[in-house]
């Protein structure tokens, strides 16, 4: 069914960090009316699509996002309304043509992704399908419920503590179902809070809803997580709850070295540190273990640890089909983090995921540290069957909106498989 847009409208709203972002409402001639909220990162890769954004909270001036909102309501609305598109992918192509840059810097990647997400939603409504079912149809994939990855301790750019590693996640790989995985995550989260409190730590939260204790050494945090897992009666490891890390190493890569808990490490020393961590803890995945510009280090990291753990590229790959293709040819990592606003259209996101699938790279769909209540990524992960999602802690509305949508899909579709997908 053709997609004929009669109205396109953006409004400036707030993200979960009290910074401006935008929501786009799209109406079709058939009366479908859908909305999409645009997320925004803090530890962004330098090669991400370029959003028109404001500065940090202290420099909030509303100018960047206001410009993006103006582009949706002006130039983009003018170009798209009244036209009939064969598909949401056609809308994405029109957006790319209209922007005319490689990075979406002119119209703003945040303006573009908002319209793109809304177009995919509208197409699903017109096809009479749930969004996840429609995405599976468009991508030619087999739907599956993912293992949620709960970021329960926040550091790096997401918290004001001195912890250099950014994310410590619980991955209930052994859970029998999605709702049970969410329940397990919530149980351990509550236990971790109790353990931290009992040890005199503050239990304030970082940007993604995880605790942000004043602990510097990553190994100490990992031990706390394992204590919380076992104290709730779960097995620590792949048969129960495993651990996933996102050190976000670009953020502590300075002057050619890596600053970890007061030490300056070379790439190889940091790789050795990861090997020791993998020996000692039930770690199953490391995202951005090295910096985005340390491609040589990434090759060695993959040689050393690629058979033992998932090595996922986020800042280094930025959901970019061309960069992922190059990285695959250089045997860098074995997995990609997938963020729709990193590349800027849903079509290119699905293309990045297809390239990964064909190369045997696993994929994890991800939120951003600045989020809205939009749960698009829950449908994206189910529809593409990629088997893994991260959406922060099992707390805070903008994070649980995604987990709750997954529970809703799981309850309504008991025959959907749950768990990791084959690479």
> Is 106 marked within a binding site?
no
- CB within 8 Å of 85: residues ≥ 6 apart: 2, 3, 4, 5, 91, 94, 119
Instruction: Quickly tell me which residue has 């730590």 as its tokens.
Output: 201
From residue 422, how far is each of 179, 255, 337, 356, 358 by CA, in Å? 21, 39, 16, 12, 11
Question: Using CB under 6 A as the criterion, what x/- string covers residues 184-223 for binding ligand 2PG?
Answer: ------------------------x---------------
Question: Residue 164, interface with ligand 2PG (CB under 6 A)?
Answer: no
Structural contact between residues 194 and 232, judged by C-beta atoms closer than 8 angstroms: no
Instruction: Please say which residue, 92 or 314, places its beta carbon nearer to Mg ion.
Output: 314
Indicate whether 42 belongs to the interface with ligand 2PG (CB under 6 A). yes
Choose among 63, 30, 57, 28: nearest CA to 42.
57
Nearer to Mg ion by Cβ, of 169 and 192: the residue is 169
* Tally of CB atoms within 10 A around 62: 12
Least spacing, CB of residue 359 vs ligand 2PG, in Å: 21
Residues 372/129, Cβ–Cβ less than 8 Å: no
* C-beta of 58 vs 329, nearer to ligand 2PG: 58
- Burial class, 59, CB count within 10 angstroms (exposed 0-12 / middle 13-18 / buried 19+): exposed
Q: Mark out the alpha helices in 254-413 (DSSP H runs).
A: 267-280, 295-305, 321-329, 340-343, 346-359, 376-384, 397-412
Laid out side by side, the sheet with 263-265 consists of 253-254, 257-260, 263-265
Helices and strands in the chain: count of H runs, count of E runs = 14, 15
Which span (111-119, 131-139, 280-288, 343-351) binds Mg ion, by CB under 5 A? 280-288
Least separation, in Å, of the C-beta of 167 and ligand 2PG? 6
Shortest Cβ distance from residue 263 to ligand 2PG (Å)?
22
Q: Site for Mg ion (CB under 5 A): which residue of 54, 246, 379, 398? A: 246
**Residue 407, binding choice from Mg ion, ligand 2PG, none, Cβ under 5 to 8 Å by partner class:** none
The answer to the question of residue 368 lying near ligand 2PG (CB under 6 A) is yes
CA dist., res. 75 & res. 125, Å (int):
25
The verdict on 246 binding ligand 2PG (CB under 6 A) reads: yes
Determine if residue 139 is left, alpha or beta; phi over 0 gives left, psi from -120 to 50 gives alpha, anything else beta. alpha
Q: Which is nearer to ligand 2PG, 138 or 153 (CB)?
A: 153
Nearer to ligand 2PG, 107 or 248 (CB): 248
The interface partner of residue 334, options being ligand 2PG, Mg ion, none and the CB cut-off 5 to 8 Å by kind, is none
User: Which residues are catalytic, by number?
Assistant: 208, 339
In the shown chain, the binding pattern of residues 327 to 356 toward ligand 2PG, with x for contact by CB under 6 A and - for none, equals ----------x-------------------
Please name which of 49, 56, 24 lies closest in space to residue 122, comparing C-alpha atoms.
24
Among 133, 141, 302, 369, interactor with ligand 2PG by CB under 6 A? 369
- Is 366 annotated in a binding site? The answer is yes
Known binding site for Mg(2+): residues? 246, 287, 314
Applying CB under 6 A, the residues found at the interface with ligand 2PG are: 41-44, 167, 208, 246, 248, 314, 337, 366, 368-369
């Amino acid at each position: 069914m053709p997609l004929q847009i009669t109205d396109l409208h953006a409004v400036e709203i707030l993200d979960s960090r009290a910074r401006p972002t935008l929501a786009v409402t799209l109406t079709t001639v058939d009366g479908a009316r859908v909305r999409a909220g645009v997320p925004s990162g803090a530890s962004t890769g330098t090669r991400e699509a370029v959003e028109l954004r404001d500065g940090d909270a202290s420099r909030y001036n509303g100018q960047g996002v206001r410009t993006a909102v103006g582009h949706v309501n002006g130039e983009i609305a003018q170009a798209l309304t009244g036209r009939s598109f064969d598909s949401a992918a056609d809308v994405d192509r029109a957006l790319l043509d209209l922007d005319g840059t490689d990075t979406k810097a002119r119209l703003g990647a945040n303006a573009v992704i908002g319209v793109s997400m809304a177009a995919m939603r509208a197409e699903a409504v017109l096809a009479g399908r749930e969004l996840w079912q429609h995405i599976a149809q468009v991508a030619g994939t087999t739907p599956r419920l993912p293992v949620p990855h709960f970021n329960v301790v926040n550091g790096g750019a997401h918290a004001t503590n001195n912890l250099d590693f950014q994310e410590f996640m619980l991955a209930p790989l052994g859970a029998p179902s999605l709702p049970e995985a969410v329940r397990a995550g919530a149980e351990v989260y509550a236990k971790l809070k109790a353990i931290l409190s009992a040890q005199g730590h503050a239990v304030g939260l970082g940007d993604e809803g995880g605790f942000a204790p004043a602990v510097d050494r990553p190994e100490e945090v990992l031990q706390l997580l394992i204590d919380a897992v076992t104290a709730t009666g779960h097995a620590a490891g792949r048969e129960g709850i495993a651990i996933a890390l996102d050190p976000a190493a670009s953020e502590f890569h300075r002057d050619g070295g890596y600053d970890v808990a007061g030490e300056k490490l070379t790439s190889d020393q940091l790789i050795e540190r990861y090997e020791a961590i993998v020996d000692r803890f039930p770690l199953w995945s490391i995202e951005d273990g090295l910096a985005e510009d340390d491609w040589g280090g990434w090759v060695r990291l993959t040689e050393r640890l690629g058979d033992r753990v998932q090595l996922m590229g986020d800042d280094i790959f930025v959901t970019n089909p061309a960069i992922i293709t190059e990285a695959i040819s250089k045997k860098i990592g074995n997995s990609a983090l997938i963020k729709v606003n990193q590349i800027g259209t849903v079509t290119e996101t699905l293309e990045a995921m297809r390239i990964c699938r064909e190369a045997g790279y696993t994929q994890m769909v991800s939120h951003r540290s600045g989020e809205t209540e939009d749960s698009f990524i829950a449908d994206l992960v189910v529809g593409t069957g990629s088997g893994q999602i991260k959406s922060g802690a099992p707390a805070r509305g903008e994070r649980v909106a995604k987990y709750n949508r997954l529970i809703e899909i799981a309850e309504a579709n008991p025959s959907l498989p749950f768990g990791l997908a084959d690479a």
